[in-house]
A = this chain, B = another copy of it.
Amino acid sequence: MDRGSAEAPIGVFDSGVGGLTVAREIMRNLPAEHIVYFGDTARLPYGSKSRETIVMFSRQIIRFLQTQDVKAIVIACNTASAYALDEVSREGGLPVIGVVKPGARVAAEATKNGRVGVIGTQGTVGSHIYRDLIQKNDPRITVIEKACPLFVPLVEERWIHDPITRQVAERYLAEMKSQQVDTLVLGCTHYPLLRSMIGEVMGSSVTLVNPAYEAAQELKRLLEREGLANPGTDEKEFPYRFFVSDLAENFKEFANSILPYDVGMTQKIDIEEY
């Protein structure tokens, strides 16, 4: 398969399982596309690591995905999108998109009162990437940012509809509410799994922006523009392949709770060789 052919797969990567929420949106919205997913489970989480480290990790992963002849790459991790996208975009001639730019653009378009909230990991929030990109779209918008480091482990405990998670959400989101944001960006791939609880805490008048969904829409436009959309004529038995850097048992378990089918065929690779 030639690189750049329409039949080639999309490369999607994340620090772990969270990016499967992005893969899921691509599966739903671009059902003819094949996907090669890489989860860097040996080195997760990215949220608390430095820019330099995340850029190095991202380069290694892109080199690996290139060996899988992908036609485009989606950085499904907010932290890696924030830190590495500008440095790796068009790496090796491939189009690379992240989740942050599409999420920021839609948030800037959605707000009516000019007050947008952003929640994410320490890395994403500390980089101020959403704030900077939202204000690039419209400099008059006020952006309130808040790191919510307990949300990921709460989701991984599957305490999704739970009074403890509700209290954590209420504490984390108290400032967003008092600052009267009318739009809230779910700036971490795990957070869409808490969408209903976050929606309840924020109230129905607040628009929740899911960058995973917006990235899938962006990818769709990109593939059409570059003539790379898969015509869907080749019926592959396994259109989705999964790779991880560490085969911990809970990857499969958690992946199966996000995706509607068995990802038992996950392969481990040594990412430090790339």
- A→B interface (CB under 8 Å): 41-45, 48-50, 53, 122, 126, 149-150, 152-154, 156-157, 163-164, 167-168, 171, 245-250, 272
Contact = CB atoms under 8 A, between A and B. Distances in A.
Nearest to A154: B150
A41 B247 CA distance: 20
Contact of A246 (B49, B153, B154): B49
A107 to B, nearest CB: 26
Chain copies in the assembled complex: 2
A164 B157 contact: no
Contacts of A247: 50
15 contacts: A41-B49, A48-B248, A48-B250, A49-B246, A50-B246, A50-B247, A53-B246, A126-B249, A150-B150, A150-B153, A150-B154, A150-B157, A153-B153, A163-B167, A164-B164
A49 B248 CA distance: 6
A172 to B, nearest CB: 10
Nearest to A159: B150
A156 B149 contact: yes
Contacts of A156: 149
Contacts of A126: 249
A246 B53 CA distance: 7
Contacts of A150: 150, 153-154, 157
Contacts of A250: 48, 122
Contacts of A168: 164
Nearest to A44: B48
B149 A153 contact: yes
Contacts of A164: 164, 167-168, 171
A122 B41 CA distance: 14
A202 B53 CA distance: 41
Contacts of A153: 149-150, 152-153
A45 B245 CA distance: 14
Nearest to A168: B164
Contacts of A44: 48
Nearest to A151: B153
Contacts of A246: 49-50, 53
A50 B248 contact: yes
A92 to B, nearest CB: 22
